[in-house]
Amino acid sequence: MRILIAEDDLPSLALLTGLLKKHGHEVVQTINGTAAWDALQQPDAPALAILDWMMPGMDGPEVVRRVHALPTARPPYFIMLSARAKKADIIAGLAAGANDYLAKPFDFGELLARVEVGRRVIELQADLAAMNEKLAAERARYFDLYDRAPSGYITVSEPGLILEANLTAATLLGVARPALVNQPISRVIHQEDHDAYHHLLQQGAETGEPKSCELRIVKSEGTPLWVHLAVTVAQDNVAAPVTRVVLSDITVRKRAEKELQNLRQRLSLSEQDERRRIAASLHDCTVQDLVASQLNLNRAVEMLGEEHGAVREILGDCAALAENNASELRSLAYDLHAPWLQYGGLLSGIQEYARQFSIRTGISVSFEPPPAIPRLQPIKEMSLYRVMQESLMNVHRHSGAKRAWIVVSLLDNELRMTIRDEGGGGTPASNRIGVGILSMHERMSAIGGRLDVCRKPEGVSTLAILPLVEEKNYGDS
């Protein structure tokens, strides 16, 4: 270790130098305070300095004070030597910034021991400085990752004020990060979603677990954005709990979902138009042609004499087939067009279809409607009607049941339609996800609803759920 000795007494300087060199230290000698001050300002200044109190030019305490006033990262370890052994002198030397104080005359063994203590302190300081540098680097890396994270992070105080936010959150909101500090989080959340946010906070506080939902935030210029928002209520500091909020922009996904929903609705409307066109064509053209064919066949039977009994029988069978086909096509046209649904609404349409279905199939269908439901958009009523229609056809095709039930109810601002039967859960083939089930799922998804199909030994239950509050398209900018 390099050690500076500042001592104006030359025999003492020589003695100290020889002693320290003997124990493996490198020594830098000075004979006055000014030279010591100059040496300690150099980039390669010794890490430990032994200073005499009384020296020409500048005394030891003054050298110590000046070195401590320098903007250096770490001053050397100072050991003050002095013949002044009073307690007040020792206190004055330590107050000047010396690390140790040794009164003359002193024992060389004690000096070496104090130098060793200084060496260990210097090593510990170096280790601590290295640890601090590493910690600072890790901290800088953490904050760099924190700022560049794909999600926005906001810390909110218990009164609801923003304590800090990362750069992603500030960019997402379109403001400078300092401008967010001490702003109410309520200014960030869309006004219509305040209740959803506070409900999320309440859940997080009650369970102590992270809670999340999808809601809207508002940018500085007023543009709303859809985000996946997760909150964690930190209870580690009971005196001042904080809430950590994570924001992930899902506006593009929401917009795509809305566009997909609109596309499905347009496809559904096109499908309904095509069904009505086909129904009209069947009823006005094909059925009429079959009826005309039946009448002509009956006339031909009447025109033939009894001697043509075999031909009359064949023509009569053809007339019966034409009549049967016309009847079937009338039913098909009726199902395609669904006039009761169009003019009477969803409940009337379901009731009339259930009645006709029971007559055609022999399956008893019980319909339990609510006292009243609001009229829905035509596309929604038609989608629910087609789900009911497809469900009853599945009962007829797969279950072997003789009874089925349709229940329509209102619960928690949702319309729920259940179709169940008393069959055996369907044939093995029907347990696969077929085109009919996929079609029903797509119909409900297109109108913002969902479908659940449950197969049990006692029968199949199909549940269609439609929220009655239409979601606004706040994700569009």
Q: What is the mean pLDDT of residues 21-43?
A: 93
> Where does the pLDDT of residue 22 fall: very low under 50, low under 70, confident under 90, or very high at 90 and above?
very high
- 386 and 409 both lie in a single domain: yes
Q: What is the CATH number of the domain that holds 95?
A: 3.40.50.2300
Last residue of a domain, one of 337, 372, 398: 337
C-beta pairs of 340-348 under 8 Å, 24+ apart in sequence: 341/381, 341/382, 341/385, 342/378, 345/375, 345/381, 346/373, 346/375, 346/376, 346/381, 346/384, 346/385, 346/408, 347/373, 347/408
pLDDT at 418 over 50: yes
Please report the pLDDT score of residue 11 as a whole number: 92
Q: What is the mean pLDDT of residues 23-44?
A: 92
pLDDT at 26 over 70: yes
Least confident of 185-189, 254-258, 278-282, 312-316: 278-282
pLDDT at 473 over 80: no
Least confident of 99-103, 239-243, 324-328: 239-243
- 362 and 418 both lie in a single domain: yes
Last residue of a domain, one of 98, 117, 144: 144
Please report the pLDDT score of residue 431 as a whole number: 47
- 23 and 107 both lie in a single domain: yes
pLDDT at 424 over 70: no
With a CB cutoff of 8 Å and minimum separation 6, the contacts of 33 are 6, 51, 55, 56, 57, 58, 59, 60, 62, 63
Q: Tokens 């001053």 correspond to what residue? A: 75
Q: Tokens 């300002």 correspond to what residue? A: 41
- 356 and 397 both lie in a single domain: yes
Q: Of 258, 237, 239, which Cα lies nearest the Cα of 445?
A: 258
- 431 and 412 both lie in a single domain: yes
pLDDT, one tens digit per residue, over 393-414 is 889 888 888 999 999 999 888 9
Please report the pLDDT score of residue 273 as a whole number: 78
Please report the pLDDT score of residue 469 as a whole number: 67
Strand pairing category for 162-165 and 26-30: unpaired
CB distance 186 to 162 below 8 Å = no
- 192 and 259 both lie in a single domain: no
Share the mean pLDDT of the chain: 86
* More confident position, 185 or 457: 185
Burial of 422 (0-12, 13-18, 19+ CB in 10 A): middle
Q: What is the mean pLDDT of residues 288-293?
A: 84
Please report the pLDDT score of residue 189 as a whole number: 93
pLDDT at 415 over 80: yes
pLDDT, one tens digit per residue, over 371-385 is 878 888 888 888 899
Q: What is the mean pLDDT of residues 106-121?
A: 93
Q: How many domains are there within the chain?
A: 4
Least confident of 21-25, 44-48, 453-457: 453-457
pLDDT, one tens digit per residue, over 190-230 is 999 999 999 998 898 888 889 999 999 998 888 899 999 99
pLDDT at 432 over 50: no
- 396 and 326 both lie in a single domain: no
Please report the pLDDT score of residue 471 as a whole number: 43
- 261 and 296 both lie in a single domain: yes
Q: What is the CATH number of the domain that holds 416?
A: 3.30.565.10
Q: What is the CATH number of the domain that holds 241?
A: 3.30.450.20
pLDDT at 476 over 50: no
Please report the pLDDT score of residue 334 as a whole number: 65
pLDDT at 280 over 50: yes
- 302 and 382 both lie in a single domain: no
pLDDT, one tens digit per residue, over 68-91 is 998 876 789 999 998 888 888 889
- 450 and 464 both lie in a single domain: yes
- 62 and 109 both lie in a single domain: yes
> Where does the pLDDT of residue 477 fall: very low under 50, low under 70, confident under 90, or very high at 90 and above?
very low
* More confident position, 26 or 341: 26
- 216 and 260 both lie in a single domain: no
Q: What percent of the chain has pLDDT over 70?
A: 93
> Where does the pLDDT of residue 360 fall: very low under 50, low under 70, confident under 90, or very high at 90 and above?
confident
pLDDT, one tens digit per residue, over 122-167 is 999 889 989 999 999 998 888 888 888 889 999 999 889 999 999 9
Last residue of a domain, one of 285, 313, 337: 337
Structural domain of residue 233, as residue ranges?
A: 150-249
